[in-house]
Amino acid sequence: MSTRKKNTVRLIFLILIGLSASMRGYAQSSRIDSIQNKLLTAKPDSNKVKLLIKLSTEYFYPFNKGRTDLALSINKSAKLLADSIHYKAGQLTARENEAYIYTLKLRIDSAIVLYRQLLPDARQFGELRLLAEVEKGLGTCLVKHGEMQEGRKYLYAAIDHARASKKTEIETRALLDIGLSYLFDEQYSEGFDTVLIAYERFKQANSLRNMSFASSVLASHYCIIKQYNQALFWSKAGLSNAYSLKDSSFIVNSLLDVGEIFTRIQQPDSAEYYLTKGLQSAPKDVRTDQLLLAYYNLSLVAALRKDDATEFKWLLKYIDTEKNLKSKFPVHSFDVKILLGLYYLKKNRLSEARTNFEEAIKIAEKWQNWQALSEGYSGLSQIAERTGQTKEAFKYYKLHIAARDSLFNEENTRKLTQVEMTHEFSQKQALVKAAQDRELALRDAGSQQQRLIFMVVLLGLMGAVAFGFYTYRQRQERRRTELELANLRAQINPHFIFNCLNSIYRYTKERDTDTAAKYLQKFSSLLRLVLENSRTEKITLARDLEALQLYVDIEALRFKEKLQFFLEIDPEIDPTFLQIPGMLIQPHVENAIWHGLMHRESGGRIAVRVTQPAENLLRVEVEDDGIGRAAAEELESKSALTKKSLGQKITAERLKSTGKLAHIETIDLTEVNGQSAGTKVVMEIQL
């Protein structure tokens, strides 16, 4: 599962686990009273064990810490009694119940341990229903733990044993959890297909409770991939099922789901209606995590209306309510603190703004939320700028840019996943349509000859679909290979790495540890930058120039400080915003050093000038006062000349592949008397 989705998945799991509890046991006070009355006169036998387990199950719902703690206490009593009377079925059921309660309490690691310990005993005992429950519980917990493939293995085993024991509901719920695992794993096509199959089975069984749960799953994940029409459809379907079921918990959850989606599509009136109605429908059944989501969305509704006072009121209500949240998962904590920071910044209450931004960054770093990190660092940069702390402002601004770049990369990955999912879905639709056409044609065919003709046509159609899919995958593979090659072309020359390591070894052997340490520090910093920059097609001009400076510093150490390097940037250019392909200037600087300056005993100078003659055009000049190209051709071997032209060719090809190369030329510089005065390389890049 990608880092970008982990916190969203945990949030969805927290919401759905409360609904799952009500699927296991729907408690009413009269039923609890009835069980307790029976327990007063029950003898310490297997029947009392069953009553205690049943009472424990009733306390699963409504889902909150106090009731789950009570359920756990009652279940332990059942287990102790079952142990004392050697009631094997009761022992196993109580242990399975205990593992499930730990799942509800989000103590997933403990639940996995209990399920794994219980699994061999359940297999040996031979009751298929119990074995199916254990396998389903273990599979669900492994999915929650991020172990998708192993989780699905146990869920499929649960389906087989549930089917053998004719426990249709367990079978379909395991199928639903398999669909969830695909969705959590961002395999949306398989996930949605599987959940929809489970929904249809629940519908055939008229299981409104399970239908509501499946609807909530579909709504939540369609919301993740920003297919809001589908999300709204399934959230309203869940609301309709909840009203038919007359279950206040499901009604509240569905109302809040609908309200959140209307918030996402920026319809504040509808959003406020459903969110407010959800909070007012059944206050006792609104869990703390649901309250937090409602308050957060109501603050966004107020923001859409530009009502600062109301937005601030809901944000403070969120912060106050969050103190009662038992789970360590922050729900929307970093988002809320960012919004509070922006509010205080707008009111010029800088101390409070700084506190909220710093708290948001602390939480966002833990959950690797690049959006919150970017906004948090941006806020701290603005505060530092207002207080005259220029260095601090620049430091935070660079961190803001880095987080924003990471967010941009994740967004591109998400879009690529979306394109692949859409394509796979289209392929499946084509195959389904082909199968439907085949069935209709067979039904209408009146003779064996017609059937034979149709089969030939069908095979041709399926072959065309398969060939189209194969061609698409081949294009994707070629494109992936091209991108990898482009990244490899951007890496520093292997000979340079070899020479650097040799230099470090020489300084170490000469016991010049200070120079060796300085050399090694710059070399490792350069490698780190190169590896980071190679992850994306483009980087900021500032990052490229930073890598270039490190490279020149290393070469200066090797040339015993005989190399002079000057970097001139037009004051009108902001290098932190302009983006160019990585390692663009370095090959030309390398050529200037090795083919222009290395043959001069006194060394020489290299000047890099960066200007922006037009809004969409960047001009880079690399000028050296070396011996010139003609003299270099006389002194250097054929292989050396090949290396030089190859470096320039690679740079030109990289620019050409992106369609950004406007102009590149090499100019021989001469003095008044006609002698060579060096070389100048001019590149013009379209922005």
Report the alpha-carbon distance of residue 298 to residue 284 in Å, rounded: 20
Question: How high is the pLDDT of residue 660?
Answer: 63
Give Dmax over CA atoms of the chain in angstroms: 118
Cα 191 to Cα 176: distance, rounded to the nearest angstrom: 9
Say how many C-beta atoms besides its own lie within 10 A of residue 187's C-beta: 19
Cα-Cα-Cα-Cα dihedral of 444, 446, 448, 449, to 10°? -90
**Residue 12: what are its φ and ψ, rounded to 5°?**
-60, -40
Give 289's contacts (C-beta < 8 A, 6+ positions apart). 14, 15, 18, 325, 327, 331
**Hey, what are 211's tokens?**
């239908």
CB 265 within 8 A of CB 274: no
Q: What is the mean pLDDT of the chain?
A: 80
pLDDT at 62 over 60: no
Nearest Cα neighbor of 214 from 229, 192, 190, 232 is: 192
E strand residue ranges, 541-603: 563-569, 579-581
Q: Can you give the pLDDT at residue 26?
A: 44
pLDDT of the residue at 435 = 55
Matching residue, tokens 């959950």: 367
Q: Which of 213, 142, 210 lies closest to 181, judged by CA? A: 142
pLDDT of residue 237: 92
- In this model, does residue 481 exceed pLDDT 80? no
At CB < 8 A and 24+ separation, what contacts does 339-348 make? 339/299, 339/303, 339/311, 339/315, 340/312, 340/315, 341/376, 341/379, 342/375, 342/379, 343/308, 343/311, 343/312, 343/315, 345/379, 345/382, 345/383, 346/308, 348/386
pLDDT tens for each residue of 344-373: 998 999 999 999 989 888 888 877 788 888
Measured CA to CA in angstroms, residue 433 lies from 102, 189, 210, 427, 440 at distances of: 45, 17, 30, 10, 11
Q: How many residues does the chain have?
A: 687
Can you give the pLDDT at residue 496?
A: 65
Higher-confidence residue: 145 or 133?
133
Q: Which one-letter amino acid corresponds to residue 659?
A: G
pLDDT in tens, 302-316: 999 999 999 999 999
Predicted pLDDT of residue 426:
52
How many CA within 13 A on the CB side of residue 644? Answer: 19
Under 8 Å between Cβ of 628 and 596: yes
Chain segment 115-126, per-residue pLDDT in tens: 999 999 999 998
* Domain ranges, ordered by start, for the chain: 1-106, 405-488, 536-686
Nearest to 435 by CA among 459, 471, 464, 451: 459
Burial (0-12, 13-18, 19+ Cβ within 10 Å), 251? buried
Residue with structure tokens 């599987």?
A: 194
- Stronger pLDDT, 111 or 419, i.e. the higher one: 111
Cα–Cα distance list, 428 to 175, 230, 354, 469 (Å): 20, 19, 51, 10
The CATH architecture of the domain made up of 536-686 is: 2-Layer Sandwich (3.30)
Selection from 397-406, 614-623, 659-668 with the highest mean pLDDT? 614-623
Asked, as a colleague might, if the bond just before 62 is cis with ω within 30 of 0, I would say yes
pTM tops 0.85: no
Predicted confidence (pLDDT) at residue 138 exceeds the cutoff of 50: yes
Q: Cα–Cα distance between 607 and 566 in angstroms, integer? A: 5
pLDDT interval class at 484 (50, 70, 90): very low
pLDDT exceeds 80 at position 468: no
What 3 state SS string does 596-665 have? HHCCCCCCEEEEEEEEEEECCEEEEEEEECCCCHHHHHHHCCHHHHHHHHHHHHHHHHHHHHHCCEEEEE
Q: Is the per-residue pLDDT at 608 higher than 90?
A: yes
pLDDT of 456 reads 76
Please report the pLDDT score of residue 283 as a whole number. 61
Q: Other C-beta atoms within 10 Å of 282: how many?
A: 15
Most confident of 335-344, 460-469, 659-668: 335-344
Span 460-468, mean pLDDT? 76
Number of Cβ atoms within 10 Å of the Cβ of 43: 7
| Cβ–Cβ under 8 Å, residues 101 and 75 | yes
pLDDT of residue 360: 87
Cβ–Cβ < 8 Å for 249, 285: yes
Of 59-63, 165-169, 515-519, the least confident: 59-63
**Tell me, what's the pLDDT at 445?**
54
Mean pLDDT along residues 418-432: 52
- Please choose, from the candidates 5, 9, 11, 74, the residue with its C-alpha nearest in 3D space to the C-alpha of residue 287: 11
Tokens of 547: 């890598």
Pick from 526, 654, 657, 687: nearest CA to 588: 654
Q: What is the predicted pLDDT for the residue at 482?
A: 56
**pLDDT > 90? residue 114:** yes
Per-residue pLDDT for 5 more than 50?
Answer: no
Q: Which long-range contacts (CB under 8 A, 24 or more apart) does 302-311 make?
A: 303/339, 304/263, 304/266, 304/268, 305/268, 308/343, 308/346, 311/339, 311/343
